[in-house]
Every structure is written in C-alpha cells, then in structure tokens.
C-alpha cells in the first residue's frame, strides 16, 4: 500500500471509531463480517508465502511465490522469446524475398542490355506483337 492508501485507511478507521455508537446494528454486523473475511484472506496469503517455498523444495511444482525474482524474470522473458524469434524470422523472410526480386530484375536488365537487338526494337509495339506470336 502506498501512503495515500494508508492515509485513507486511517481516516476511514477514525471515522468508524467515532461513529460506531450511532450506527445501526445491521451495519456494524456487516462491518464485523467484512473484517473477519479480510483477516482470513490476509492470514491465507501469509500462510501461502510461508509454506509454498518449503513445498516447492520438497518436490512440488514451483509457484510464483516460491520463485526467486531472477527466475520469475527469466520466466517472463522466456514467454516473450518465441514472439521475438517470429518477428526476426519474418523480417529475414521479407529481406530474402526483396533480394531475390532485385536479383531477378537485374538479370532481366542484363539480358536486355547484352542482347544483339537495339533498344529501339523493344520500344516498337509491332516488334512486341511479333515476339508474342513467335512465343506461341
């Protein structure tokens, strides 16, 4: 709890202490019940913190309460590592595809430039129709 929460809790406690005599019996009963529930939860948490590290050492599966902070941090990082590997893998695939596209374009350009036909032949629409007929 931070200081604001503690200050609020003290103010509520003080207000309840001052007005307990004027409160109806049903309200004080509900407050007493809520206090018992809160105390039982607090006791269970304290018991869990005290017992779980010993049971983890006795062969039971570790829990977040029994892990060392470094182990808990490594567990969180271990959950993120597959996602990081996926992102880097997709980046690598994208770069490889782009590289292959550049290589193919360069090879087409090289074939056009090393051919014996002049570049004006490739610009002639009639020549393109002739090549299309010859290819079929």
Q: Are 50 and 43 in contact (CB under 8 A)?
A: no
Query: For the chain, how big is the Rg over CA atoms in Å?
Result: 38
Task: Name the residue among 26, 34, 31, 36 with its Cα closest to residue 15.
Answer: 31
pLDDT, position 71: 72
DSSP secondary structure letter of residue 22: T
The tens place of each residue's pLDDT in the chain, 136 residues long, gives: 688 888 888 888 888 888 888 888 888 888 888 888 888 888 887 777 766 555 454 555 555 555 567 777 777 778 788 899 999 999 999 999 999 999 988 887 787 777 776 667 777 778 777 777 766 6
Domain boundaries, the chain: 1-66, 68-136
What global pTM score does this model have? 0.35
Q: Are 35 and 47 in contact (CB under 8 A)?
A: no
CB proximity list for 101: less than 8 A, separation 6 or greater: none
pLDDT, position 55: 47
Q: How far apart are CA 91 and CA 100, in angstroms?
A: 14
């Amino acid at each position: 709890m931070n200081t604001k929460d503690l200050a609020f809790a003290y103010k509520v406690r003080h207000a309840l202490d001052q007005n307990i005599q004027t409160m109806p019996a049903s309200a004080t009963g509900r407050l007493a019940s809520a206090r018992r529930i809160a105390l039982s939860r607090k006791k269970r948490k304290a018991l869990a913190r005290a017992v779980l590290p010993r049971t983890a050492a006795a062969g039971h599966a570790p829990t977040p309460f029994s892990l060392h902070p470094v182990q808990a941090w490594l567990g969180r990082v271990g959950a993120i590592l597959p996602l990081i590997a996926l992102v880097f893998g997709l980046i690598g695939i994208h770069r490889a595809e782009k590289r292959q596209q550049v290589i193919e374009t360069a090879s087409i350009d090289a074939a056009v430039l090393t051919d014996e036909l002049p570049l004006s032949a490739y610009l002639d629409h009639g020549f393109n129709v002739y090549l299309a007929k010859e290819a079929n």
